[in-house]
A and B are shown apart, each in its own frame.
Chain A
Amino acid sequence: MAYELNGESYDVDEEGYITDISLWSRELADLIAEGEEITMTDEHWEVVNFLREYYEEYQIAPAVRVLTKAIKKTLGPDKGNSGYLYELFPYGPAKQACKIAGLPKPTGCV
């Protein structure tokens, strides 16, 4: 399987994660999100951008606890909980948001 965007083809693994994270773009993220039945809003982008920055720095996706804490810091306590993240990414914040962010599948749970 692969994503097709503007005549380019992007290879993915058996679960739909792109295999070359350097090829990621916002347009591609929109396309991946579509496949996940998610329409990207500013709130989604906040999470996705945070994940990419974190991965860039630490070469690993953050634990959900780290993610919620970071969201709490920037967006306030009403959004800094896993309930909010599940609203944005119903099938698991880490799994879906990482996929959209073009990162490898997180090895931990959720």
Chain B
Amino acid sequence: MPEDSIFETKGVKKNFMFVCNKAPYGTIYALEALEMIMISAAFEQHAVIVFIDDGVFQIKKGHNTKSTGMKNFSPTFGVVSMEKEDADEDDEIDMVWRIVVEKESIEARGLSEEDLVLETEVLSSGELSDLMAKQDVILTS
């Protein structure tokens, strides 16, 4: 690869995994991870978005942030859904997105799929680790 090609990003496509593993509020990590996910959509990258550990609370229904003074960014996950729909349905968009939640994490927190604002695939930690092995880039928040 010639040296100046670092600026040539057109057509570069990788398999990204975003591991959202932090509680939604109290720190900026969850929101920043969401920003990264949105940016990867802008560049039409393949993405697996994983909610694991306390990260599953990010997509739990019924957030109310009034008393914390932080913005409730729960509605923004609606955009993630739409991006996935676009990726699935629009032939002009060459992007594969998967939204995954770890089975053990939701069970340990007494949650089920019905408690989540996103439609997700539920994978066991074993299945998740197989999926991780297939990624080009794994970003953990």
Contact = CB atoms under 8 A, between A and B. Distances in A.
Contacts of A23: none
Nearest to B41: A63
Contact of A109 (B42, B72, B75, B78): B42
A58 B42 contact: no
The binding surface of chain B is classed by DSSP as helix
Interface residues of B, number: 13
A86 B41 CA distance: 21
A57 interface: yes
B140 to A, nearest CB: 20
Interface in B24-78: 35, 38-39, 41-42, 71-73, 75-76, 78
Contact of A108 (B42, B71, B75): B42
A107 interface: yes
B41 A60 contact: no
A60 B38 contact: yes
Contact of A58 (B35, B39, B41, B78): B78
A59 interface: yes
- Residue of A59, A63, A64, A108 with highest tally of chain B CB at under 10 A: A59
B38 A57 contact: no
B39 A108 contact: yes
